[in-house]
Structures are given as structure tokens and as C-alpha cells.
A and B are shown apart, each in its own frame.
Chain A
Amino acid sequence: MEPVVELVEAVAVLGRFPAVAGVSMRVDRGEIVLLRGPNGAGKTTLLRLCAGLLPLERGTGRVLGCDLAGQRQLIRTRVGLLGHNNGLYADLTVRENVRFWGATVGASNEEVAASMATMGLDGRLASVQVGRLSAGQKRRTALACLVARRAELWLLDEPHAGLDAAGRDELDATLHAAVAAGATVMVASHELERAGSLATRVVDVVGGVVALAGPTSEATNLRAADGTEHPAAAGKR
């Protein structure tokens, strides 16, 4: 089966700095891959590269069967990226935001309603302007937009940030449901305990390259390539 993401010696630059400096990795359909590493390791850039937002400077890459060098626009219509920002309009209500983002892929009203229900936004919150929501409620709205967009590859950067315990549980359930429906997920997170329990595989990113990759059970017990013991591993003892 063709991998969802396949990078070979991929290089992506921010300005003149190679934030992704020769990453080779493969992600198969149905996986939930946790990208972990210190700040500035290149996790966010790697997600943006996979979303087709950054050009491939060197190496080769394919996402959902599309070439990263020449088919970035096609890739974008099939992936969903939730970064540090939520991409929401503060003056619009939750329902109007989800409807807008759903409309970009032709989602029906029923699909929009289902997306909101999935994230627990179908009650009173649906008619509230996003600018009046808490950080966690905004995050849930952004995730509902992602569900409405029917993304095949979910690229999530710190998705648990700002969510309360119930919101985190809903997020995890949503991700499992998305994977069950055929989606693939890549998560960059510093919340290793929560994201680690969610992931089927962990990839360590250090200095713009993949330092270590393996199942969560193995990876969390190993030292990273830079010699420092990973906090998750330390926490287990």
C-alpha cells in the first residue's frame, strides 16, 4: 500500500535556515504519529512541509500520492493543518465558522452539524461569536472545522494546548474516529504523556532531522540522538 507520507532526505528552509535538514520518514495510512523534540527542532516546519505550505528545497517527497515538488496545491485540498493559530473569524459564530470552512470542500449542512456535534459544539455554543469563547472552546471549534473539511491527513501542532480534560478526551476520541474512518494523523506535541498514549508511533525530531523512530513503547524508553534522555522516558521510571 502506498504510504501517506514518504520523505527522502527532504530539506525545507525558513529564510535561509534549513529548519528541516534532510528528513527521511514514512507514514502509513491509519497511523497516528507523534513528532516530538525540543523547541526549534523542526516539528512545525515538518508539518507545514507535509501540508504543502513550504516548498521542498532538496530531496524528494510524496504526500497522499502527490509530489511535494509539483503538486502542493492538490495536497492542500486533502490535508488539514491545525497550527498554533486556529484560523477562525472572531466576529462570526461557531456555526458560521464551521459552515465556512466546510463550504470550502462542499460539505453539506448535515456534515457541518455532525462535525459540531463531534466536538460538543452543537448546543448553546453554536450561536456564540468565536471572539467570546475561551481558548479551549476556540480549539474545539478549529477541530470541528477540520472534521468538516474531511481531511485525509491531519497535521496537528500542539492540539491539546488550551483544552480542559473533557476537551482532551473529545479530541482523542475524534482522532481515533478519524483514523477509523481512514484518516492518518501526525501530531507535534510537548505533552508527551497525553500524545504518547494516543500515538501508534513516535518520531523524534532533533535539529531538523529524524533522530529516532519507533513504536511508542520502544521510543519512550530510549535516549534521543543528542544523548539527552527524553522527559517521557525519564517520567516512566
Chain B
Amino acid sequence: MTLIAVARLMAAKDLRVELRSRVVLNQVLPFAAVVMVLFGFALDNDGILPQVAPGLIWLATMFSLLIVVQRAFAVEAADGALDALQVAGVRPAGIFLGKAAALAVQLFVLQIGLVFGSVLLFNSKLHPGGLVLLLVTLVAATLGMTFVGTIYGGLAAGATGRETLLPLLLLPVVAPVLIGATRATEASLSVGGTSMREGWAWIALLATFATLFGIGGSLAFGSLLEDQ
């Protein structure tokens, strides 16, 4: 099988599992909404909330990422499917790309909900001129987060105490995405004093981050699985 065929097979399987279990819809989306509302309570000030909304969107995304990554690999580990994928000689790079693609789709849907949640809860304003930048930010940052999430999810899958290990490993690494995505989102929503030009500069960082971790993950995922 070609790399793309393996990735499509894995992604289709993961998305079918999600459609059946509806974990993102029934658990992760409500969790992210609760996080947003709690941030709203904590920063209960009309002047501040629209200013900090971009950061809150990405913080909620990052916390949700932990849940979806853990779920994605729990499904593989529950009955030894990850082991079986290795025995079947399925190309590790294909597994990596497929799982990352499925995670990206789930996270992207979640972020659309969070952006609209921000409009409703924090009075964020969507501008026609910033929509393209916002969309590109969502895509680039989501890819970066899911590539890192898949790498560390695979690394922690067989480890003892993986529930606590994953956040420890993952959160520091995705910090640059949090910063870049927040600045680019600020630019797209015209808050925080970040210009559109600066916003596109942050996109370059996000794209570089996603590319590096996409290539690195594809190359290293086989070794990560072997070491389980």
C-alpha cells in the first residue's frame, strides 16, 4: 500500500470510530465550552474579554487536544490494535499521518465551535477582511498541534501513567503554537493591537512548526512504536 493509501485508511477508520462513539461531540465540545465559560467568569470584565478571547480560544483548544489525543491512542491500545498494526507491517508514517489527519478534522470542527462561542460569549467581532487569515490560522495551528499530539500520543501510548505523562510532554512543546495562533487570531479579529501583516508573519511560524513536526513525526513514528 502507498503511504497516502495507508494514511487514508487510518484516518477513515479513526473518523468512523469517532462518529460511532461521538466523544468529541458529547464530551470534548462540552468540555471546551465549559472552559470558555469559566474563563468568562474569571475575567468578568466587558473590556477585557474581547481582548483576551483569541488566547482563550487556543487555551481551550490545547486542553481539548489532550483529551482527543488520549482518546485516539486509547482506542488503539485497548485491545492491542497498535501492536497488531505493527505486526501487519502497516507503514508507521502512514499510521502517523492518518491519525494526525483524523485528529485535525476533529479539532478543526471543535475550533469552529469555539470561534462562534467566542462571538457569543466574549463579543468577539468577525471581520470580512480577517476571515482568510482566521481560516489559515485555524488550519496551520491545528496541523501543528495534531502532529505534535500524535508524536507524543504514540510515545506515551504504552507508558505507565500515560494520562499524566502526556500533558507534561505535550504542553511545553505546543507553547509556540499557542503564542503564534493567538497573535494571528488577534490580527484576524482586530484586537490586541496586532496588525494583519504581523498576523501573516505568525502564520509563517505556524506553517514552519507544522512542517517540521509533520516530517519529523513521519520519520520517527516507527521508532517510537518499536520502543513501546
User: Which A residues are within 8 Å of any B CB, using their own CB?
Assistant: 51-53, 73-81, 83-92, 96, 100-101, 103-106, 129, 149
| Interchain nearest-CB distance for A64 vs B (Å) | 12
What are 13 of the A-B contact pairs (CB < 8 Å)?
A76-B88, A77-B89, A83-B80, A83-B83, A86-B79, A87-B80, A87-B81, A88-B79, A88-B81, A89-B17, A91-B75, A92-B17, A104-B6
The reply to whether A104 and B1 contact each other, CB–CB distance below 8 Å, is: yes
Within 8 A of A (CB), among B31-78: 75, 78
Give the interface size bracket for B toward A. Answer: 20 to 34
Also in contact, A92 and B90, with CB within 8 A (given A83-B83, A85-B80) = no
With known contacts A96-B16, A104-B1, A51–B87 Cβ distance under 8 A: yes
Contact A103 B88 (CB under 8 A): no
Chain B residue numbers with a CB within 8 Å of A84 are: 80
**Interface of B with A (CB < 8 Å)?**
1, 6, 9, 13, 16-17, 20-21, 75, 78-81, 83-90
Chain A residues with CB below 8 A from B86, complex form? 53, 76
Structural contact, B20 and A129, CB atoms closer than 8 A: yes
Majority secondary structure, B binding face = helix
Cβ contact within 8 Å between A73 and B83:
no
- In the assembled complex, how far is the CB of residue A77 from the closest CB belonging to chain B, in whole angstroms? 4
Measured in the bound complex, the distance between the Cα atoms of B108 and A232 in whole Å is 59
Query: Do B79 and A92 touch across chains, with their CB atoms under 8 A apart?
Result: no
CB distance from B167 to the nearest CB of A (A): 25
B79 contact from A77, A89, A104, A106, Cβ within 8 A: A89
Contact partners of B78 in chain A: CB under 8 A? 90
Asked whether A77 and B83 contact (CB < 8 A) given A91-B21, A92-B20, A96-B16, the answer is: no
A89 B88 Cβ-Cβ under 8 A: no
What residues of chain A lie closer than 8 Å to B75, measured between beta carbons? 89-91
Asked whether, in the complex, the Cβ of A104 is within 8 Å of the Cβ of B9, the reply is yes
Contacts of B88 in A (CB 8 A): 76-77, 80, 101, 104-105, 149
Q: CB-CB < 8 A to B9: which residues of A? A: 100, 103-104
**Cα(A129)–Cα(B21), bound, Å:** 11
Docked CA distance A101–B90 (Å): 10
B80 touches A86 (CB 8 A): yes
Q: Nearest chain-B residue to A93 (Cβ)?
A: B20
Q: Assuming A87-B87, A88-B79, A96-B16, what are 17 further A-B pairs, CB within 8 angstroms? A: A52-B87, A76-B87, A80-B88, A83-B80, A85-B84, A86-B80, A87-B83, A88-B81, A89-B17, A89-B75, A89-B81, A91-B75, A92-B17, A92-B20, A96-B13, A101-B84, A105-B88
